[in-house]
């Protein structure tokens, strides 16, 4: 019999044994989650330490245009002679800000509305579900494009545009969980003991929903990163000269036939790595926190 790791947060000295036990208990999911967590940790470090990592100012013209990667310019320079490595490092700040801000925004709206809808039921629930399902069925990127085009460029506006399209994801998940928890025996017991609706919601329903919210939050950030990159790729992101991966990709596109691969390679790899990190973390956590779903 293997001991199940008691805590998600390791004691300082016992990290190695904690990790090994987790790996034995959870298997592949443990490694998937860890890989995601490591990527996440690195990217957050890069975001915070950008001024110390980047050798140049991301908006300064520091060299000749179109220098191929070399020891001075690790990822080369762009058409204006800006250092791509510095832009990639600072670009992490832009995309992380938008992704996290939008995910927080959509969970703040989606989770309570989902709780309310699932818990009260009835006409309100049906109306809210219809609206949310309709938005959910709509191609998210296209909805975000419409909103971004109307709201205009800027970090806050883009975040709002992205936040709106992910509200239904939280709503549907939370509502579904509430509906199933409501049927549980312990909720019935609490009800018969005279617990108020607020108490039941707070003490019995909400704690059961949290693990799934964490999972959706992580997957949501991954999606939001891709959506942000997509929006700025088609010119609806943050205004230049702010370093932004999607925008830089699009700016490098015309020089592709000339074989200037470094303009488009590095920002793209970064988008993929960061999106992958959050999605691995979400997938892994899903298996660990919601073991019931394992067999599905």
Where on the chain is the footprint of another protein (CB under 8 A)? 28, 130-131, 133-135, 137-143, 145-147, 149-152, 222, 226, 229-230, 233-236, 246, 249, 253, 256-257, 259, 261, 264-265, 267-268, 271-272, 275-276, 279-280, 283, 295-296
Alpha carbon distance 101, 29 (integer Å): 28
- SS3 for 83? strand
Sign of CA dihedral 101, 103, 106, 108: negative
Tell me whether residue 190 is exposed, middle or buried, using C-beta atoms within 10 angstroms of its C-beta: 0 to 12, 13 to 18, 19 or more.
middle
Q: How far is the CB of 48 from another protein (least distance, A)?
A: 23
CA angle 33-34-37, nearest 5°? 90
Sign of CA dihedral 32, 37, 40, 41: negative
Residue 181 near residue 173 (C-beta atoms within 8 A)? no
Q: How far is the CB of 189 from another protein (least distance, A)?
A: 33
DSSP classification of residue 68 = P
| Cβ nearer to another protein, comparing 96 with 226 | 226
List beta partners, residue 83: 77
| Cβ nearer to another protein, comparing 48 with 131 | 131
Q: How far is the CB of 161 from another protein (least distance, A)?
A: 9
| Cβ nearer to another protein, comparing 40 with 195 | 40
| Cβ nearer to another protein, comparing 60 with 133 | 133
Q: How far is the CB of 234 from another protein (least distance, A)?
A: 5
| Cβ nearer to another protein, comparing 131 with 210 | 131
Q: How far is the CB of 176 from another protein (least distance, A)?
A: 16
Alpha carbon distance 98, 163 (integer Å): 9
Q: Which residues of 266-276 are buried (b: 16+ CB within 10 A; e: fewer)?
A: bbbebbeebbe
Q: How far is the CB of 147 from another protein (least distance, A)?
A: 5
| Cβ nearer to another protein, comparing 12 with 150 | 150
| Cβ nearer to another protein, comparing 143 with 289 | 143
Tokens representing 89 are: 């490092």
| Cβ nearer to another protein, comparing 23 with 195 | 23
Q: How far is the CB of 25 from another protein (least distance, A)?
A: 17
Q: 214 φ, ψ to 5°?
A: -60, -45
Half-sphere exposure of 86 (CA within 13 A, CB side): 21
Q: How far is the CB of 182 from another protein (least distance, A)?
A: 26
Sign of CA dihedral 291, 29, 35, 136: negative
């Amino acid at each position: 019999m293997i001991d199940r790791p008691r805590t998600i947060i390791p004691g300082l000295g016992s990290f190695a044994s904690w990790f090994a036990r987790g790996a034995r208990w959870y298997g592949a999911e443990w490694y998937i989650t860890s890989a995601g967590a490591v990527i996440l940790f690195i990217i957050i470090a890069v975001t915070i330490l950008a001024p110390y990592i980047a050798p140049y100012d991301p908006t300064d013209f520091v060299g000749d245009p179109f220098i191929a990667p070399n020891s001075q310019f690790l990822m080369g320079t762009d058409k204006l002679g800006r250092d791509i490595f510095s832009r990639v490092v600072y670009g992490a700040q832009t995309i992380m800000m938008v992704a996290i801000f939008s995910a927080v925004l959509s969970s703040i709206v989606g989770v309570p509305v989902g709780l309310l809808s699932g818990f009260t039921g009835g006409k309100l629930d049906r109306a809210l579900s219809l609206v949310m399902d309709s938005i959910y069925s709509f191609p998210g990127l296209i909805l975000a494009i419409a909103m971004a085009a109307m709201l205009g460029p800027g970090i806050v506006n883009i975040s709002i545009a992205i936040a709106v399209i992910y509200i239904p994801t939280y709503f549907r998940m939370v509502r579904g969980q509430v509906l199933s928890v409501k049927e549980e025996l312990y909720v019935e017991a609490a009800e018969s003991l005279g617990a108020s609706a607020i108490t039941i919601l707070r003490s019995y329903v909400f704690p059961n929903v949290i693990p799934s919210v964490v999972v959706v939050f992580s997957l949501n950030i991954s999606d939001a990163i891709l959506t942000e990159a997509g929006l700025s790729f088609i010119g609806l992101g943050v205004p230049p000269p702010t370093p932004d991966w999607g925008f830089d990709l699009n700016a490098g596109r015309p020089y592709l036939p000339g074989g200037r691969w470094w303009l488009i390679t590095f920002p793209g790899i970064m988008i993929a790595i960061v999106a992958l990190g959050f999605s691995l973390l979400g997938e892994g956590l899903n298996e660990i926190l919601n073991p019931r779903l394992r067999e599905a």
